Structure 1
């Protein structure tokens, strides 16, 4: 899983740097506000970022990890925060973890 996360982060990071080089950080936001359709996509990404932050917050609290760097990065740069959070999780952590309610959390 780490290999896939690293490939996604590297490829998306390279594309994001290219986009920033072409239009700048503000230009990316302006493109996201250019039409009603673009607003829909932008708002969808904002909603998903906050949903991801909720999961990160709960997981970090449960596992004693610091959440603030990932939260700030998610607010400023979207999926880079959750991608780094998953990529930098402790190496010995299992792929499935039982929660305190007895259900199984999937997605690691």
Structure 2
């Protein structure tokens, strides 16, 4: 695992763990209700939607270029937000990393 994969994995695991704690406390619907509670939180929610929308468009093009089915990943972005994008990035990096060549034994 290279440094880029480690950084993505750390962000994915940490953010997923935090998200699970928050959803456990307020529920999935509670996240959306909090996002609509004030103009400030609505701004954050809209910013997240725009960023994930742009990330989803990039993911769609990237997955098609790489010959990967994009729909499960786009569904993950739609339902999980940044977690879906981080998961796609992790899998993309993992698949792009060449396997270590086995050493020939005499």
TM above 0.5? yes
TM-score scaled by structure 2?
0.84
- Quote the offset at 1:91 in angstroms: 3.3
Selected match of 1:23 from 14, 21, 26:
26
1:66, distance to aligned residue in structure 2 (A)? 1.1
Aligned to 1:92: 97
Shift of 1:10: 0.6
CA positional deviation for 1:81? 1.2
Displacement of 1:80 after TM fit?
Answer: 1.1
Partner of 1:67: 70
Q: Cα offset for 1:42?
A: 0.3
Length, aligned pairs only: 93
- Report the Cα distance in structure 1 between the residues aligned to 2:22 and 2:54, rounded to whole angstroms: 25
Q: Which runs of 5 or more residues in structure 2 are unaligned? A: 99-106
Larger Rg: 2
**Structure 1 position 11, deviation (Å):** 0.4
Shift of 1:55: 0.6
Map of 2:58 onto structure 1: 55
Return the TM-score normalized by structure 1: 0.82
